[in-house]
Structure 1
Amino acid sequence: MTNSPTTPGVVSGRLAPPALARNFSDLHPPLDRHEAHVAADRCYFCHDAPCMTACPTSIDIPLFIRQILTGTPEAAARTILDQNILGGMCARVCPTETLCEEACVRETAEGKPVEIGRLQRYATDTLMGKNIHPFERAAPTGKRVAVVGAGPAGLSCAHRLAMKGHDVVIYDARPKAGGLNEYGIASYKSVDNFAAREVDWLMMIGGIEMKLGQALGNGLSLDGLADEYDAVFLGVGLAATNDLGIGGEGLEGVQDAVDFIAELRQADDLTTLDVGRRVVVIGGGMTAVDAAVQSKLLGAEEVSLVYRRGAEAMPASKFEQDLAASKGVRIVTHASPAVILGDGVVDAVDFDYTDADAKPTGESFTVAADMVLKAIGQKLGDAYGLTMEGRKIAVTGAGRTSRDKVWAGGDCASGGDDLTVTAVAEGRDAAEDIHATLMAS
């Protein structure tokens, strides 16, 4: 592959620090007190609250908005956090445009919903800014629970169990807690180290011990945990990335989008991050959009996001698709990768056009690329001897697996959408079921 000296291939420092700072600033800046009151005043406080029904954690949205309107944002935060202990992060990353805000009566009537997500952030940020933790531990039960995975599901489960009086130990493979909140969310959605600060705030409940750098299969076993603890909750996520299954995946310049995002999230200096001149992102979900947008924000000249079905079938919401387009990402639909080309280093990708069923039509095209990011989904790396449903751990009820004493939730468990807010709900509900089971034994 040859590149012009003035437009090199994969390099770092394409943009100066001031430009990078602007590009990666807060996507949705927080509301101030006056703005929050104006936004809250638009709520009709519907008696049937369709927004609440659309929320996976069933937050009483009309109540918390009324509490903001009456000048008690701390009480509003308590209402939110009672159902969703990670309400601060969910206010930042939840696709409200397809959940609560899509169901809002204002959206139906006017095409402009109440800004529920930003109001939720206003309330939770107000409370956390005062270093207030509104929950207390119940009397100790003498029961111990292991939680594997410090992502949204694991943190939610651990907090609810600790609040019930159980002692909890969280194990996580990475050096930092937070899971996808820490490693997998676009930087412009969670600025100022918020994920880590939220974990620290959550741990204020007490009764939770965090053990990092420990994973199942690496010093831990499910058998050992089940013997040592009264219950085990698995919130391990989907650690293994799916392969494209085509030629050229091993070329230099081809990498998993989740790794690209994780590296960016942990970087202290964005000018040190490599990005291509021509980047191709393969996939149509949130990870694909996050990778594509951030490539552009790092200074890539051309970014193409290619998806095998139509735009209406993309897992990423219309808002996310529009965000990508607004940042200069070219979205190509009805195209599937056939082979990645290059001599040691990626040079281009051949795509087949696809029909409505995502089958090749016989026509093809080529996109020049010096960097290819794969974002076609993830899978569970190990079944841990549990019954599986497709690529996930099969669960019934509130996260019960095929093994006694073992529950699971979040992305690794069957059922539900792969969303932060859904993972929080599943961790919370599993904790309630674990508590009931332990107290009945």
Structure 2
Amino acid sequence: MGTTDASAPKAGIVGGRLSPADYQANFADLHPRLDEHEALVAADRCYFCYDAPCMTACPTSIDIPLFIRQIATGNPLGSAKTIFDQNILGGMCARVCPTETLCEEVCVRMTAEGKPVEIGRLQRYATDIAMSENAQFYERAPATGKTIAVVGAGPAGLACAHRLAMQGHQVVIFDAREKAGGLNEYGIATYKAVDDFAQKEVAYLLAIGGIEIRNRQTLGRDITLADLTARFDAVFLGMGLQGVNALMAEGEAAEGVEDAVDFIARLRQSSTKTDVPVGRRVVVIGGGMTAVDAAVQAKLLGAEEVTICYRRGKAQMNASGFEQDLAASRGVMIRHWLQPKRILTKDDGTVAGIELDYTHVVDGRLVSTGETGIISADHVLKAIGQTFEAESLGLIALQSGRIVVDEEGRTSLPKVWAGGDCVLGGEDLTVQAVAHGRDAAESINRMLQEAQQPAAAVA
């Protein structure tokens, strides 16, 4: 037996296991920006399809062939404007969108050669240049005297606010957090958006003027929907999802069990990563992007073993194939057909492991096979979906726990619109939230303009 190093980190959930150089390397940019030559080569692969399927697959309907052609002809600022015309958060979307299941999946090059045009990286190339040069493409229309309240400074709320500000309206955004950005600031893997990019994008968007952000303002505690509808000409709800689903497993309250979204948020707010504790043996429960983000980052923080457990098969995982492959490449084990049953604890109440049921599908229903297995763990992260807390919304129509809206984002209440993850049909995608906010802003603007029109003369 070897001797024990008294200075070695103790087992358990601790931070600072790695050297500063290791943290810097581990959390470096996943896909660094293309240089000019790389961008021109990538743009040259585009066929500039007239009926481009990539545009149809993009929730914000960016004119992808046009912006790529503009890059190919040496006009990155023109390209950025084409992107921002449809998606003012195009810089972040270029980093976090699952392009492999959206625009790039349907790219003609993908169909013909199995390798799509790198649409996401080209989008980042153009938008990064515009932001680095602080190229401002939009001016506010003359002031209308109308003021709109936006609840939530995430992608939906920011996109809505920017479009309304362009149209000359004044916007006040109420957000519960200390910083604006929502999911982009708190909810994505650190290595997908480095160098405080989320805050740089917020600052770029706010440069248009006419937008005020009030932080630490929670709907139902500091403000009410009834008050907002009384004080403002319209209200947009884009507060996202605030709650987290429970494991429904015995021992879930044990020390060492936490929500993956909280774990990711701490990482996003840490400048060194040394102060974010992680276990040596981590189990992540879930099969979506949040599960992969949490698992990969746990490994990058110095966890020795990280296992994702998902109750169904590989094909049913919400995380894309690219994300699953990324996890595997970082040493994360993904195990399927396992469902949490019980958290095992030590005498001191800390996590010792997790007991799981093996599952299969019978007559379309997921059921236990009757077999169980145990995985040793000192840290369990829950990534099984978030919930919408609707108690503060009064009589607004809900379905399946989400806000019901029409095709323009209008809710059942007069003067109130909604978009993003909080609405029925929201898909937990930044790009879709942007589309919801943008389209709701157009609807709000039409309503305000119609109210200002003089009544038609009666014959």
**What range is the shorter-chain TM-score in?**
over 0.9
1:364 partner amino acid: T
User: 1:66 corresponds to which residue?
Assistant: 69
1:437 partner amino acid: M
User: 2:26 corresponds to which residue?
Assistant: 23
Paired with 2:201 and 2:166, the residues of 1 have a C-alpha distance of 17
Q: 1:345 to 1:131 in 2, by over 3 A?
A: same
User: 1:378 corresponds to which residue?
Assistant: 386
Q: Deviations over 1:329-381 (max 9, x none)?
A: 00011110001110411111000011034311111100001000000001112
Superposition map of 1:98-117 within 5 A: 98-117=101-120
Pairing partner for 1:429 from 419, 423, 439: 439
**5+ residue gaps, structure 2:** 452-459
User: Do the aligned residues in 1 keep the contact of 2:23 with 2:272 (CA within 8 Å)?
Assistant: no
User: Do the aligned residues in 1 keep the contact of 2:291 with 2:308 (CA within 8 Å)?
Assistant: yes
User: Do the aligned residues in 1 keep the contact of 2:388 with 2:422 (CA within 8 Å)?
Assistant: yes
The alignment covers a number of residue pairs equal to: 439
Work out which of the two has the higher radius of gyration on C-alpha atoms and give 1 or 2. 2
Paired with 1:396 and 1:251, the residues of 2 have a C-alpha distance of 43
**5+ residue gaps, structure 1:** none
Residue 387 of structure 1 and its aligned partner are, at CA, apart by 1.2
2:315 partner amino acid: E
Superposition map of 1:327-406 within 5 A: 327-343=330-346, 344-356=349-361, 357-383=365-391, 384-385=393-394, 386-406=396-416
Paired with 1:4 and 1:316, the residues of 2 have a C-alpha distance of 40
Superposition map of 1:32-431 within 5 A: 32-343=35-346, 344-356=349-361, 357-383=365-391, 384-385=393-394, 386-431=396-441
User: Do the aligned residues in 2 keep the contact of 1:334 with 1:358 (CA within 8 Å)?
Assistant: no
TM-score w.r.t. the length of structure 2 is 0.94
User: Do the aligned residues in 1 keep the contact of 2:105 with 2:116 (CA within 8 Å)?
Assistant: yes
Q: SS of 1:101's equivalent? A: coil
Q: SS of 1:42's equivalent? A: coil
Paired with 2:184 and 2:95, the residues of 1 have a C-alpha distance of 10
Residue 411 of structure 1 and its aligned partner are, at CA, apart by 0.4
User: Do the aligned residues in 1 keep the contact of 2:79 with 2:126 (CA within 8 Å)?
Assistant: yes
Paired with 1:63 and 1:321, the residues of 2 have a C-alpha distance of 32
Paired with 1:375 and 1:184, the residues of 2 have a C-alpha distance of 12
Paired with 1:176 and 1:133, the residues of 2 have a C-alpha distance of 23
The share of aligned pairs that are identical, in percent, is 64
Q: Deviations over 1:262-301 (max 9, x none)?
A: 0010012211110000000000011000000000000000
User: Do the aligned residues in 2 keep the contact of 1:336 with 1:352 (CA within 8 Å)?
Assistant: yes
Paired with 1:127 and 1:73, the residues of 2 have a C-alpha distance of 8
Residue 4 of structure 1 and its aligned partner are, at CA, apart by 11
Residue 382 of structure 1 and its aligned partner are, at CA, apart by 2.2
1:349 partner amino acid: I
1:59 partner amino acid: I
User: Do the aligned residues in 2 keep the contact of 1:170 with 1:210 (CA within 8 Å)?
Assistant: yes
RMSD: 1.2
Paired with 2:390 and 2:58, the residues of 1 have a C-alpha distance of 31
